[in-house]
Structure 1
Amino acid sequence: MSTSIPFKNASLSFSDTGKGTAVVLLHGFLENSSMWKQLSSELSKRNRVIAIDLLGHGNSDCLGYIHSMELFAETVEAVLKHLRIRKCILIGHSLGGYVALAFAEKLPQKVKGLCLLNSTSYEDDEARKKLRTRANKMIQNNFAAMVRMSFTNLFGEKSRVLHKKELEAALQEALRTPIQGYMAGQEGMKIRPNRTHILSENNFKKLIIIGENDPVLNPQISLEEATKTHSEAVIFPDGHMSHIENTSELTLALTDFVKRC
């Protein structure tokens, strides 16, 4: 069951289930906390699981036209303060990983472990920045078609067939995202800095989960990133959406990671 708290001039929505070590789940772009339903159910058997709707996603409001990673991190801080949680394990999918890193940069003492799920500590390259700028121009004229195309492309070709039902359900959630939330998220991701040092310089547990056929992140670069930052790496055979494409394997990997933090 979700609840909400005020944040600046916006409302933040999140769920809070279970007892034990706090695990904070941060969804990706065009997703919301509903993506964690199955994983949250498993993790909350032994942990306190907080799943947050980031600004401009799910039931959380937009706040301006640039949702920077630092601003997103402030929302995580606000929820933890409200719940009186001192330390937590962060698991972030894609955009959620960027937010987790921004939070860990500001408040490393509050982090017991950090998992980048189909995510990276590197900044956008110039080609990716141009794609985000172009997407923000195109989205204003054909929102539904753009969201459908970009979201579907996150799945491997086989997964689009094998997980057609799950893909369609996730797409319907993506289409709930307001245009302002889409644009503000893109702008925030475009300006995010390199945060590799957050992984390299901190002693909390670190895990990078990689899709072997991820259309967004080069798996070889992700493997090198894990080695460079002394992070554990787990590789799955599919694309960018491991929570759908490799559900059972991901649940096992994250349950094990949380136990070891």
Structure 2
Amino acid sequence: MNEMFIDDKSKPIFAGMTLDYKNITLHYTVSGKGDSVVLLHGFLETVAMWKDLEPEFARTHQVVCIDLLGHGQTESLGYVHTMEDMADAALAVLQHLDIEKAKFVGHSMGGYVALALAELKPQLFDGLCLMNSTFEADDEDRKVLRTRANDMAKTNFENLVRMSFANLFAPESRISFKAQYEWALSIALSTSLQGYMAANEGMKLRPNRFEVFKSLSAHKFVIIGKKDTLINREQLVKKIANTDIEYSELSEGHMSHIENKSELSYLLLHFIEK
């Protein structure tokens, strides 16, 4: 099934498609021609997060953006979506498109999904960029927070999403990028309760995948926001020292595609073309 993906200004951006998968609908977009680049969004996001970056990449590459389980126009499978579940769904799209090799960029939860896919199908990867993401598992404190969030979601979902979303940005960014912040928040608020809870449970269950990342025979790159409160910067940098994993730091928070858009674009273009 073909459709057009529409942005907030009601202008068609690129062709969207759906795939039947385990009795649900998977939504994805494809644009451009050339070597494949796969973009995986984060928690409470959709393919729309790539709307400013995708056209740049599509000048020289085939760009595939996938709505992960319970997000955007992709339906939920249950009340727990493990990162492996999401990776299997993404793999179904790539197999449908006959993609045998690609460079992957995963934002936040999208990075966790990419790592699960790398463990399953390492031969798929020509490169992997963890964008505001990590190979570490949740620590015990974060697991407790996720459990509390899912309990709260049942009775106060909108306020929970608003509160969770605010923490993704550096404080000053909520003011400096007010329009973009409100737009991204509106997308977050469109996430279903089931999609929220299932992804949160899945992230809580994910294992540490440092060895998967380190051993991957592909270009490996990490993008870190200096003000990102969700990622343990010091631990991450220390862990990748003396490996072939490259990293760059940006000045702001977790939402680099909004807070550091031009710098991020430069880094990702370099990663994709390398």
Flag whether TM exceeds 0.5 (same fold).
Answer: yes
CA distance in 1 between counterparts of 2:222 and 2:272 reads 13
Q: Is the contact between residue 82 and residue 203 of structure 2 (CA under 8 Å) also seen in structure 1?
A: yes
1:88-107 paired onto structure 2 within 5 Å = 88-107=102-121
- TM-score, scaled relative to structure 2: 0.93
* In 2: Cα distance, 1:227 partner to 1:103 partner: 24
Query: Does residue 75 of the first structure (1) align with residue 75 of the second (2)?
Result: no
User: Aligned pair in 2 of structure 1 residues 103, 168: CA closer, same or farther (>3 Å)?
Assistant: same
Please say if 1:241 is aligned against 2:258: no
Which of 9, 13, 17 is matched with 2:31 structurally? 17
Q: Which runs of 5+ in 1 are unaligned?
A: none
Residue 213 of structure 1 pairs with residue 220 of structure 2? no
Matched, 1:223 2:234: no
Specify the alignment match of 2:12 in structure 1: none
Corresponding residue for 2:76? 62
Distance in 1 separating the partners of 2:118 and 2:267: 21
* Displacement after TM superposition at 1:162 (Å): 0.4
Question: Within the alignment, does 1:186 sit opposite 2:200 as a pair?
Answer: yes
Aligned-partner Cα distance in 1 for 2:139–2:59: 40
Could you tell me how far apart the structure 1 residues matched to 2:242 and 2:132 are?
A: 17
- Aligned position for 1:115: 129
| Aligned mates of 2:211, 2:140 — CA distance in 1 | 21
1:126 CA displacement: 0.2
- The alpha-carbon deviation at position 228 of structure 1 amounts to 5.4
SS at match of 2:130: strand
Paired residue secondary structure (1:105): helix
C-alpha displacement at 1:23, in angstroms? 0.4
Instruction: Specify the alignment match of 1:127 in structure 2.
Output: 141
Distance 2:258 2:129 in 1: 17
Given that 2:118 and 2:216 are in contact with CA atoms closer than 8 Å, whether structure 1 keeps it comes out as no
For residue 96 of structure 1, give the secondary structure of its aligned residue in structure 2.
helix
SS at match of 1:239: coil
Matching residue of 1:255: 269
State how far apart, in whole Å, the 2-side matches of 1:194 and 1:228 are.
Answer: 19
Q: Does 1:53 align with 2:78?
A: no
- Equivalent pair of 1:213/1:219 in contact (CA under 8 Å): no
Structure-2 separation of matches of 1:245 and 1:224:
25
Q: Which amino acid in 2 is paired with 1:257? A: F
- Distance (whole Å) between structure 2 residues aligned to residue 188 and residue 228 of structure 1: 31
Residue 70 of structure 1 contacts residue 102 of structure 1 at CA under 8 Å; is this kept in 2? yes
The equivalent of 1:154 in structure 2 is: 168
CA offset digits 1:73-112 (Å, max 9, x no partner): 0011100111011101110000000000000100001100
Deviation at 1:224, TM superposition (A): 1.8
Residues 94, 117 of structure 1: 8 Å contact kept: yes
Measured on the aligned residues, the alpha-carbon RMSD in Å equals 0.8
Q: Give CA deviations for 1:184-206 in whole Å, capped at 9, x if unaligned.
A: 00000000011001121122000
Partner secondary structure for residue 38 of structure 1: coil
Assess if the C-alpha contact under 8 Å between 1:210 and 1:222 holds in 2. no
Q: Does 1:166 align with 2:180?
A: yes
1:29: which partner in 2? 43
